[in-house]
Homo-oligomer: A and B are copies of this chain.
C-alpha cells in the first residue's frame, strides 16, 4: 500500500524508558529514586487542595514555586525557570542555547539523554573522554565550542568536582553557555550556585525527583542569569505556556518549605551510601567514590551482566549500561538500610 504521508514523518530512533515494575516484592534500585517519602507538607498540600480550582489554568509563571526557590537560593524569582522534570528543562535549554555550528562538548560517559537531544534538535556535539578513573580534565574543555554541559556529580559514575574546578571551566568558557546539571548535587557535592553572581553564561539545572522524593510529580528547575532564564521562558512560552500543573506548583513549594526534612533525608541517604559502599568493597567490588544517591561498582571476578541477571532473578533491580568503557559496571541506587542489606546478602550469595 502506498502511504506518501509516511515521508513527512520525523524519522527518529525511539529512546526506550527504563523498566518500572509494579510487582510489590521487587527491590527497586534501578532508577535513582529516593526510598523515603516526600516532606509531610506535600501530602497535606494534596489533601487540602480544592479540586474545583483545577477548572482554571494554573499560574503560567509558577510564581509560588519560583518565589520559594528564589528565596532558598538567594536569587531573584526572574532567575528561576520551572519545567516538567529536569529533562524538560534540559531539553529546552539545549534547544535555546546551543544554536551554534560549533559542536558542544560533554563527557563521553554521562547522562544518556544528551546525545538524544542533540539528535532531536540537530545540535552538533563532541564527547570528551573522561580519564581512566572516570574523572573530568578541565583542560580538555579549553577549545572553541558551541556550549559545555557538565553534570556535577556526573552520572552514572557518581563522581563530583569542586567549586574551584567548576570556576576553572567557566573562566575558560565565557563565549558559550555552560550548563551544570546538578540532578544529584544534594547528596554531598558542591553546587555552582555561588558562581551565578559572576557568570552570566552559567545555567544550573536541578530536579526534585531525587533529593526531594518527587519523581512522580515531575518538577525540575534552572537557575541562571535573567538573560538565560528570559530566553528559556520565551522558548517555553512558544511551545506550551502551562507546563506546570497546579498540584505540582503546590507540592514543590511545600517541599522547599521544609528544609529540615530535606536535610534529614539527604543525610540518611548519604549515611546508607557510605555504609553500603564499605560492604560492597568487603565483597571485592571496586566502588567509585560517590557524591550521589547511587553507587557505580565493578567486580574483578564476575561480569556485571551476570550479576545484573542474578540479582534480577532475586527480584532486585539495578542498572546495567551496555556501553563502551562501562559495560562491566553496575549502577546501584541507594535505598534504605534494609534494602541495601538485602542487596548485600544477595550479592554474597551470587559471588
Binding site for B on A (CB under 8 A): 3-10, 12-17, 20, 28, 31, 33-38, 42-43, 46-47, 49-61, 84-85, 87-88, 91, 95-100, 116-117, 119-120, 146-147, 174-177, 200-201, 209, 213-218, 227-228, 231, 233-235, 237-248, 251
Residue on B nearest A7 in the bound complex, by CB: B100
With the chains together, A36 CA to B33 CA distance in Å?
Answer: 37
Residue on B nearest A63 in the bound complex, by CB: B22
Asked if B35 and A238 make an inter-chain contact with CB atoms under 8 angstroms apart, the answer reads no
A173 to chain B minimum Cβ distance, whole angstroms, is 9
Is chain A's interface secondary structure helix, strand, loop, or mixed overall?
Answer: loop
Asked if B42 and A51 make an inter-chain contact with CB atoms under 8 angstroms apart, the answer reads yes
Asked if B233 and A245 make an inter-chain contact with CB atoms under 8 angstroms apart, the answer reads no
A112 to chain B minimum Cβ distance, whole angstroms, is 11
Asked if B96 and A15 make an inter-chain contact with CB atoms under 8 angstroms apart, the answer reads no
With the chains together, A52 CA to B28 CA distance in Å?
Answer: 15
Also in contact, A214 and B88, with CB within 8 A (given A12-B238, A227-B6): no
A244 to chain B minimum Cβ distance, whole angstroms, is 8
Chain B residue contacts of A147, Cβ below 8 A: 8
- What are 16 A-B contacts with C-beta separation under 8 Å? A3-B201, A4-B174, A4-B175, A8-B100, A10-B97, A12-B235, A12-B238, A20-B60, A31-B56, A34-B55, A37-B52, A38-B52, A54-B214, A84-B84, A217-B247, A218-B244
Asked if B37 and A55 make an inter-chain contact with CB atoms under 8 angstroms apart, the answer reads yes
Chain B residue contacts of A175, Cβ below 8 A: 4-5
Chain B residue contacts of A97, Cβ below 8 A: 8-10
The winner among A4, A56, A87 for most chain B CB atoms within 10 A is A56
Residue on B nearest A51 in the bound complex, by CB: B43
Asked if A99 and B10 make an inter-chain contact with CB atoms under 8 angstroms apart, the answer reads yes
Asked if A3 and B200 make an inter-chain contact with CB atoms under 8 angstroms apart, the answer reads yes
Top 9 nearest A-B pairs by Cβ distance? A43-B51, A37-B52, A14-B234, A216-B246, A54-B216, A55-B213, A17-B241, A17-B60, A4-B175
Chain B residue contacts of A55, Cβ below 8 A: 33-38, 213-216
Also in contact, A10 and B235, with CB within 8 A (given A54-B216, A58-B218): yes
